[in-house]
Amino acid sequence: MPSLQSLEFAEGFIGEPEVILDARAAGEDRGVDTVTPGTGAALRFIAAASGAQTVVEVGTGTGVGTLWLLNGMTEGGLLTSIDSDVELQNAAKAAVAAAGRSGSARLIAGRALEVLPRLTDNGYDLMVVNADPSEYGLFLSQALRLLRPGGIVVFNHGFLSGRIADASQRDDTTLALREMQQALRDNTALTPALLPVGDGLLAAVVN
């Protein structure tokens, strides 16, 4: 098993460009949960390795994950990012513009579970969710509809700050996420993995 020192080294292995550091600072100023540098690098890797052209992101925040994803997507691709907080969306738009990627991103202000049903079936290569873990089961259902065969769904907070692995934790959110993780593992239409980066990336390929 890797040591804590090794995990910390992995988190900082890929440096963040200034535009992402600025977006991270904007998130910290607003008390927003942003993906860790290691998580961002993993998202970029997944987008690049899968050749993702069409990506949907749930939970834009101030654009940290958005920028990492854009950096991994193929040229000419389009990222659709959804967040219900208009102020955060505006901060993310500014970050995307500063990166010169406005033409590659469509940012939608609204509740994701109301927006996602309006998106095209089998129209996406990658779906990334950084939202309320108690709703991850609902987002998994949407991912199965939205992703093409070979598409990938990724959920942040797979560890839930250590609560998932701690059997004494029985709060509603932890129980809901455990149930969703079990459903994902048991779904023969998916090939899943739980990646030990950041707070855990729960990922699955649609077979």
Strands 78-83 and 105-109: parallel
State the pLDDT at residue 1. 82
CA distance 184 to 106: 28
| CATH number of the domain residue 33 falls in | 3.40.50.150
Q: pLDDT tens digits for 134-177?
A: 999 999 999 999 999 999 999 999 999 999 999 999 999 999 99
Q: What is the mean pLDDT of residues 173-198?
A: 97
| pLDDT at residue 189, rounded to an integer | 96
Q: What percent of the chain has pLDDT over 90?
A: 97
- Residue 121 and residue 146 in contact, taking contact as beta carbons nearer than 8 Å: yes
Give the span between the Cα atoms of 129 and 147, in whole angstroms: 13
Cα–Cα distances (Å) from 194 to 43, 108, 111, 121, 158, in that order, read: 13, 28, 26, 26, 7
Report the mean per-residue pLDDT for the chain: 96
Residue 195's H or E segment, with its range, is strand 190-195
User: Total domain count for the chain?
Assistant: 1
Task: Specify the range with the lowest mean pLDDT, choosing from 3-7, 126-130, 181-185.
Answer: 3-7
Residue 109, both tokens:
């202000």
What is the residue whose two structure tokens read 């998106």? 119
**Coil, strand or helix at 165:** coil
Element (H, E) at 56: strand 54-58
Is the pLDDT reported for residue 2 higher than 90? no
- Tens digit of pLDDT for each residue in 62-78? 999 999 999 999 999 99
Residue 172: both structure tokens together: 């509603």
pLDDT of residue 188: 96
133 falls in which pLDDT band (50, 70, 90)?
very high
Q: How many whole angstroms separate alpha carbon 124 and alpha carbon 136? A: 18
**pTM of structure:** 0.96
